[in-house]
Amino acid sequence: MIKRIALITPPYHSGVVESAGTWLNVGFVYIAGSLRAAGYEVDYYDAMSLWHKWPEIKARIEAFKPDVVATTSFTASIYKALELCDLAKQINPSIITVLGNVHASFCYQEILAENPCTVDYIVRGEGEVTLVELLDCLNAGANPASVNGLSFLKDGVVTVTPKAEYIQDLDRLPTAWDLVEWPIYSYRAKNNARLAIISTARGCKSNCSFCSQQLFWARSWRAHSAEHVVDEIEMLGKKYGVEVAMLADELPTYDRIRWEKILDLMIERQIPVKLLMETRVDDILRDADIMWKYKKAGVEHIYVGVEAGTQETLDLFNKETEVCQSKQAIDIINGADIVSETSLVLGLPDDTVESIARTVELAIHYNPDMAFFLAIAPWPYADIYPQLEEYVFTKDYSKYNLVEPVIKPKNMTVEELSHELGKAAQKFFMHKFKHLHELSPWKQEFMLSVLDIFINHSYLADVMKKAMRDGKDMPDEVKMLMKTVKGHGREGGMDRHPAMAPIP
């Protein structure tokens, strides 16, 4: 009889997401809630955020004695997810292993064919209903082929059940916030404030050719009600001491009426939780007249994806925006005294040292507070993949993390591309720090925190330290920080959480 379910994040680290803080897996909060509501016992175990290694993970599994180990994987973490499933089988061959999330949803044929004894079931799409139905089916001794949204091996052949319908009433989904180990989740840029990740909507209506989300959600979009969103933020602040909430949504602002109601409720209730978010350039342009509400409601940081510096590349990416609009959106965010962040994708086949330098100059012209220069990683299931496949030089998915190049441009070596990516970040941020005095006081303080992150916690640490050594014309505040900041991260500059979480 299946009763105990361990939800475990794979211990994958690339030095990217760990830089700014420690992020909880909000998907597991929902799945754990649905499992408990169905009568199952759940261990929510964020091995990744705890920086646990295999011996600690093994001890946790042995202590909980799960009947099922379920894990999750984006493309770069797939190998660690498979190792986790294999470890569970080594501990107890009768443990049922389940794998979900974007990569598994699209690459199930490859995963099941190459790991026939490791992965029992793949959940394609949302897991709250599908996983519960699978476990109920197995407990009843029924055929899992009757459950929608699954892929699994049967007699050596991959069985693919029909796609599960998307969950429409998100407000009714139960959550398990009480299982979250809150002390480990913090946001470094705000003095290690307690950080939550929340979901206000699911889906994406964009058509970006390099992205996985519009494929995963089939260009659909559903949302929690404004009241539910604000109730949850308020509860997290009061009950769990959350000070900062990051919206996990790809497009929280899609419905302007709903989004403005969220802002109005945050203002009306005077909820002190600060918000970090991303949205589209055109939604910022649309909302220029209510950007004051963003600020008053506690929105402190907005990411918009510029992605490219030429219209030709924007069109290749199906961004459905114009180059000039990116500058306008960033100016609007800056005008509201909200931190602006963007990214630009580099390493395309036609990129050269000169074209990358022009992209950096364009980023400086756009003037976001932060810009990151990412190595394009064409997911094997993305729309753009066939156009780039011949330039892909590695199928090592662990490198598909937007930092390590996986495409070799026609006129650059991989080493040259890696160097230019680091140099791009170095040049952009040195320009920002030289002009620190032009920012508002609170942004100046924020950017000094960002510098501390770069020096002590980031994959950019080496290039930033070198730039600071060479930066004779840096502002006094930056020079002072360089003298006082001491590296306190370990093992590559990353913090570790040595705690062993309690068994529920």
- Of 241 and 212, the structure prediction assigns the larger pLDDT to 241
Does the pLDDT value for residue 493 go beyond 60? no
CA atoms of 33 and 210, how far apart (whole Å): 32
CB 267, CB 237: distance < 8 Å: no
Q: How, if at all, do strands 41-45 and 96-100 pair? A: unpaired
Q: Cα–Cα distances in Å, from 244 out to 166, 183, 236, 362, 369? A: 29, 13, 10, 31, 19
Token readout for 455 is 């020096």
| Highest mean pLDDT, choosing among 43-52, 353-362, 481-490 | 43-52
pLDDT tens for residues 156-210?
899 999 999 999 899 999 999 999 999 999 998 888 899 999 999 987 666 554 5
Is residue 490 very low, low, confident or very high in pLDDT (cuts 50, 70, 90)?
Answer: very low
In the chain, the amino acid numbered 16 is V
Can you give the pLDDT at residue 205?
A: 60
Can you give the pLDDT at residue 311?
A: 57
CB 291, CB 316: distance < 8 Å: no
The structural architecture, per CATH, of the domain 4-156 is 3-Layer(aba) Sandwich (3.40)
| Highest mean pLDDT, choosing among 217-226, 252-261, 395-404, 429-438 | 252-261
Does the pLDDT value for residue 215 go beyond 90? no
Q: What percent of the chain has pLDDT over 70?
A: 82
Is residue 150 very low, low, confident or very high in pLDDT (cuts 50, 70, 90)?
Answer: very high
302 phi/psi in degrees, rounded to 5: -125, 130
Mean pLDDT throughout 368-382? 84
C-alpha closest to that of 79 among 397, 382, 406: 397
C-alpha closest to that of 377 among 339, 346, 343: 346
Strand partners, 96: 68
CB 41, CB 141: distance < 8 Å: no
CA atoms of 258 and 276, how far apart (whole Å): 18
Token readout for 220 is 């659909």
pLDDT tens for residues 279-327?
989 999 999 999 999 999 999 999 997 755 555 554 544 545 566 788 8
Instruction: Specify the 3-state DSSP secondary structure of 501.
Output: coil
State whether CATH 3.40.50.620 applies to domain 175-444.
no
Given strand 299-304, what is the order of strands in its sheet?
186-187, 193-198, 244-247, 274-279, 299-304, 339-346, 370-375
C-alpha closest to that of 333 among 359, 360, 374, 305: 305
Is residue 488 very low, low, confident or very high in pLDDT (cuts 50, 70, 90)?
Answer: very low
Can you give the pLDDT at residue 387?
A: 81
Q: What percent of the chain has pLDDT over 90?
A: 55
Domain positions in the chain are: 4-156, 175-444
436 phi/psi in degrees, rounded to 5: -55, -35
- Of 233 and 187, the structure prediction assigns the larger pLDDT to 233
Cβ count near 391 (within 10 Å): 17
Can you give the pLDDT at residue 501?
A: 33
